[in-house]
Chains A and B, each alone.
Chain A
Amino acid sequence: MGHTMAEKILATKCGRPEVFPGEFINARVDLVLASELSGVVAIEEFEKIRGARVFDPDKVVLVMDHFTPNKDIKSAEIVKRCKEFARKHGVRFYDVGRAGIQHILLPEKGLVSPGDLIAGADSHTCTYGFLAAFGTGIGSTDAAAAMALGEMWLKVPETVLIEYHGAPPPWVGGKDIILRTIGELGVDGARYQAMEMTGDALQHLSMADRFSMANMAIEAGAKTGLIPADEKTEAFLAARGARPGFVCRSDPDAEFAARYEFDISQFEPYIAVPYLPENVKPVSELAGLEIDQVVIGMCTNGNLEDLRAAASLLKGRKVHPRVRAIIIPGSQQVYLDALREGLLEIFIEADCAVSTPTCGPCLGGHMGVLAAGERCVSTSNRNFRGRMGHPTSEVYLANPYVAAASAIAGAIASPVDVLQGAEAL
């Protein structure tokens, strides 16, 4: 019997010729990752081990990104504690000015390669599947153990195979593909399972598209989201000085827990309505719904390609007077690239606020928290009740084209509406 990508990667990490779904293994990790919020508690736990050293300072990464630049005294104290720990143990530490949102930052720094096992105290660690790496979310206690041991204990997951065919129509990107997929699978459709996303459609999808897709695998409950590496992956890695890694594919006779197929040429821009990412509808069904805020960027759509998409519509137009529009590049590098390309000028001339990289508004932290009853179109990944602020506020998840179009229209709108000048209401 053949094996899936997930099984092959995990087999290499526990030094066995093969592993099977359901087996518990101790696997070597290539990176242990935490933000300031999850990291600070991991540090407290870690320091309980007398004389403990991290297993490899190069493979432990702390990224200050959730409530940074520090939003209040408590946040500042937490970052300070992380910084002290990083200095003491010599681990990789990224703070304001040198950082970004962890999932955009690490691949950019060349720290992620295909076949890596990455244990991150952040649920969106599944993002690294866009580089064919097995990234998975853990808690702070597990992160502490992984920092000490360089190992994690996990159950080998079954794999759900999702094959995408065809080329995406205009205005449809990785975000729409993953939203539609979650809409079909449901928020627990891939619970405890690896989601492998493959098919001929990949040749039409940029690394940024793939990033959005793997990023939201957790929104279907998946342990990880894996996209097989190809020449685009290789080019991405080479440009960032990353190791070529361990490249593998699922065997033709591998066993999958389920298979899904989608013809993405039939897709249209989608939007996930409150309060679950599985509540997916075509944008056209919601057109005209008035909004108060738009946030473009953060991790799910915080890559340069995403900002270009938003800028292509915002260029020469204005954000509707009713709307606050906030642009959050995913990292310092994305910010700089966007600046050099003139994208930031486009945003500012369109009346957008451009923020330093931060997870801030996505989890209701800062830089765009919503008041009671306010409605936001966001390119982030979660629309849970109260996620971005007041419990009665509403978050609608969409791609950057739809978010930009909605900002201009002052209401949920498709890019076509904006291009036709049908500025709603």
Chain B
Amino acid sequence: MTHFPDIVSHAVLLPEDDVDTDQIIPARFLKVVDKRGLGEALFADWRYRRDGTPDPEFALNRPQAQGAQILLAGRNFGCGSSREHAAWALRGWGLRAVIAPSFADIFRGNALKNGLLPVQIQDEDHQRLVALVQREPAARFTVDLTAQLLVPPAGDPLPFPIDPFSKRCLLEGMDPLTYLLSLEPRIQQYEARHEHTQSA
């Protein structure tokens, strides 16, 4: 996993509430053994027409969406299935942060372990940002994880919550497993001592 620098980006707008993980990545794409390569399948049923060509009307396909690292989503984003593939697909497309008034529990946990930052903001701030991006699709936001602040192009920075362990893992580019692996020298030290104790 890569480190988590400040994100400075415009945002793709997808403000529907209760977007479930079946929409984010339909089940037929779950037959993978690793986390890479799911970006093409992100929102597959919304993104492509029946002949397989991209639907130019869908938010992710619009020219102004290209290169965006931020998704401005609606309430309860990521509800439904626990498939971690949803977080991988969003990352695979190039997204680093999702801004929403709330996130489904399991999705939020999965996102945090995959370098995708859930940025939870108040309803009224969310409405304001949605209106802003509708008016100015190129509006740039800064997400400062260290300070836990979302900085819109105008107005006050908006604080967002994150637990200290997840924050540390993101900043250092670790998931819980790489965190464990980083402790290996200490585990070996302990094991060595333990061996000594047993033989004594």
Q: Which residues of A contact B (CB under 8 A)?
A: 24, 37-38, 40-41, 44-46, 48-50, 66-67, 72, 74-75, 77-78, 81, 121-123, 125, 137-142, 144-145, 148-149, 153, 155, 187-188, 191-192, 218, 221, 223, 276, 363-365, 382, 384-387, 391
Contacts and interface: CB of A to CB of B under 8 A. Distances in A.
A141 B22 contact: no
Interface stretch (B29-37, B126-134, B147-155): B29-37
Contact of A141 (B18, B28, B79, B114): B114
B34 A44 contact: yes
Contact of A387 (B22, B35, B84, B114): B22
25 contacts: A41-B34, A41-B84, A48-B181, A49-B177, A66-B30, A67-B31, A74-B31, A77-B33, A122-B82, A125-B82, A137-B82, A141-B176, A142-B176, A144-B177, A188-B75, A188-B79, A188-B104, A218-B80, A221-B79, A276-B18, A364-B22, A364-B26, A382-B20, A385-B23, A391-B46
Contact of A123 (B23, B46, B81, B175): B81
Contact of B105 (A72, A223, A382): A223
The 7 A-B residue pairs with the shortest CB-CB distance, nearest first, are: A139-B84, A139-B110, A74-B31, A188-B76, A123-B82, A137-B82, A363-B27
Contact of A363 (B22, B114, B163, B184): B22
A186 B115 CA distance: 29
Contact of A384 (B20, B176, B180): B20
A78 B177 contact: no
Nearest to B32: A41
A382 B22 contact: yes
Nearest to B77: A188
B83 A37 contact: yes
Interface in B70-116: 75-76, 79-85, 87, 102, 104-106, 109-110, 113-114
Contacts of B28: 364-365
B170 to A, nearest CB: 13
Contacts of A364: 22, 26-28
Nearest to B23: A385
A141 B27 contact: no
Given A38-B82, A139-B106, A385 B45 contact: yes
B55 to A, nearest CB: 11
A48 B106 contact: no
B82 A141 contact: no
Given A364-B28, A365-B28, 16 more contacts: A41-B32, A45-B177, A50-B181, A67-B31, A74-B31, A75-B31, A137-B106, A141-B113, A141-B114, A142-B110, A148-B180, A188-B75, A188-B76, A221-B76, A382-B22, A386-B45
B162 to A, nearest CB: 12
Contacts of A141: 84, 110, 113-114, 175-177
Interface in B1-60: 18, 20, 22-23, 26-28, 30-35, 45-46
Contacts, number: 128
A153 B84 CA distance: 17
A179 to B, nearest CB: 16
Nearest to A278: B18
Contacts of B110: 139, 141-142
B172 to A, nearest CB: 16
A154 to B, nearest CB: 9
A145 B109 CA distance: 13
A74 B113 CA distance: 26
Contact of A138 (B34, B82, B180): B82
B29 to A, nearest CB: 10
Given A138-B82, A187-B76, A382-B22, A37 B30 contact: yes
Contacts of A192: 105
Contacts of B102: 188, 191
A72 B28 CA distance: 11
A363 to B, nearest CB: 4
Contacts of A138: 82, 106, 109
A375 B34 CA distance: 34
Contacts of A153: 165, 176
Contacts of B104: 188, 191, 221
Given A45-B177, A74-B31, A364-B26, A188 B84 contact: no
A389 to B, nearest CB: 10
A192 B175 CA distance: 22
A48 to B, nearest CB: 6
A391 B45 CA distance: 7
